[in-house]
Structure 1
Amino acid sequence: MLVHALPYTLHVLASLIWVGGMFFAWMVLRPATAKALEGPARLRLWGEVFPRFFGWVWVAVTTLAISGVVLIHSRFSGFETAPRYVQWMIGGAIVMVAVFLRIHALLLPQLREALAREDWAAGASALARIRRMVGINLLLGLLVVAVASARWSF
């Protein structure tokens, strides 16, 4: 059992960092910035926030993948024999990583370019698309956490 403690702990912590960060950004930071800052200042703030948060997301994604593989092989002898809830977690994680990659590779550069040009309309458009994708990923992350913690068998 002790063999599983470290990878399991790292897996849970990485999940908390990623999903908790999205929850904070969506439910706390977004409404606060909308109320307290004008458009250009709000866009500049998000232009600073995303690279910092996404650095942590990369750490979380890497940690989740490594710890997940270790747990699957040490507890269940592979994917085929893992319980259904573990397979659902993996599927959810794959979708979440795909959404994150879309944000990081396609939408964040659009926001950066708009900020560099001081094109506030293009920046607001890019931020709105990022916000939607983060919202989708937050919902997926909460669902994955619910499936994992309840160990539902679908």
Structure 2
Amino acid sequence: MDFHPLLLFVHVAGVVVWVGGMFFAYVCLRPEAASQLEPPPRLRLWRGVLARFFTWVWVAVAAVLASGLALLLRIGFAAAPPHQHLMLLMGLVMIAIYVFVYSVPYAALSKAVAAEEWKAGGAALGRIRQLVGTNLTLGFLTIAMGTIGRWLG
């Protein structure tokens, strides 16, 4: 039985959840929340939204990594074209950034909101915003490698 279509579906679905979620949060929710909410409710909103989103991102990261490695192993690392190696590298960098965001600034945001330390919470949220912007850019570049990479070189 050929599992390629299933692996590809799992891979793309994980990317949609992760990168699509970052796009929504960064481009749609962030500016609107900043324009309508004062720091205490805005920071509480972000803590709650990110708690839900990060649960799904852990699942998406596992799905993308497992399916991507399985797809690469089907052809072998040595036989894989350069754009697929680049996709793997960028994906690993994205995972590292996500783990850092979750472990450091998101933990700081959660702690600050619980203690009602709004200035510290704002600083943590600002760091998350910067790193999500970086990961969103990497996500689009990785998608480009997966879709048009074979024609780039």
State the TM-score bracket (shorter-chain normalisation).
over 0.9
Within a 5 Å distance, the mapping from 1:67-86 to structure 2 comes to 67-74=67-74, 76=75, 78-86=76-84
Within a 5 Å distance, the mapping from 1:1-154 to structure 2 comes to 2-74=2-74, 76=75, 78-152=76-150, 153-154=152-153
TM value normalised by structure 1: 0.95
Give 1:2 shift: 4.4
Q: What one-letter code is carried by the residue in structure 1 that aligns with 2:84?
A: V
Cα distance in 2, alignment partners of residues 91 and 70 from structure 1 = 15
Give 1:147 shift: 1.2
Q: 1:71-125 CA deviation, whole Å, 9 max, x = no partner?
A: 1122x1x212111111010000010001001100111110011111101000000
TM value normalised by structure 2: 0.95
Q: What one-letter code is carried by the residue in structure 1 that aligns with 2:80?
A: A
Q: Secondary structure at the match of 2:104?
A: helix
Aligned residues: 152
Unpaired runs of 5+ residues, structure 2, are: none
Unpaired runs of 5+ residues, structure 1, are: none
Cα distance in 2, alignment partners of residues 35 and 110 from structure 1 = 23
Cα distance in 1, alignment partners of residues 77 and 106 from structure 2 = 34
Q: 1:39-97 CA deviation, whole Å, 9 max, x = no partner?
A: 111000001011110111100110011111211122x1x21211111101000001000
